[in-house]
Amino acid sequence: MTTIPTEIIFDTEFTQPVLYLNAQILTVFQETLLALRQRIDLMGIEEAQEKLAQYPHLAKIPRQIQQAVGLTIPSKSEGSKKIIHTLTSLNDIIRVCSLLDP
């Protein structure tokens, strides 16, 4: 599912899955979000949404990026649902980046 390298460690002390993102990955994604915001500001929200029209699940992301709402990247996600949400968000950012500024 994920486009970022993922290391899986099994530990009997954990009662639920935990995803850790190191500082380097967080920095790269924060810089990517800033670059996407600049790109969206330059092209305009309408053009950005038009380029993403074939991917309805990405439709809200340009406005979220522009407004910096709902796109925080946690360094630690605990539990399957939160991990899935984090990895989906990272994948969506990469997809938007490749569609708006390949």
Q: Convert the pLDDT of each residue in 36-67 to its tens digit.
A: 999 999 999 999 999 999 999 998 899 888 88
What is the C-alpha separation between 14 and 2, in angstroms, rounded? 22
**Which tokens hold the place of 25?**
């990955």
CA-CA distances (angstroms) from residue 23 to 33, 41, 62?
15, 27, 24
pLDDT per position as a tens digit, 13-29: 878 888 999 999 999 99
Is residue 93 within 8 A of residue 29, CB to CB? The reply is yes
Phi-psi region of 44 (alpha: psi -120 to 50; beta: other; left: phi over 0): left
Q: What is the pTM of this model?
A: 0.81
What's the rounded Cα separation, in Å, for the pair 58 and 25?
Answer: 21
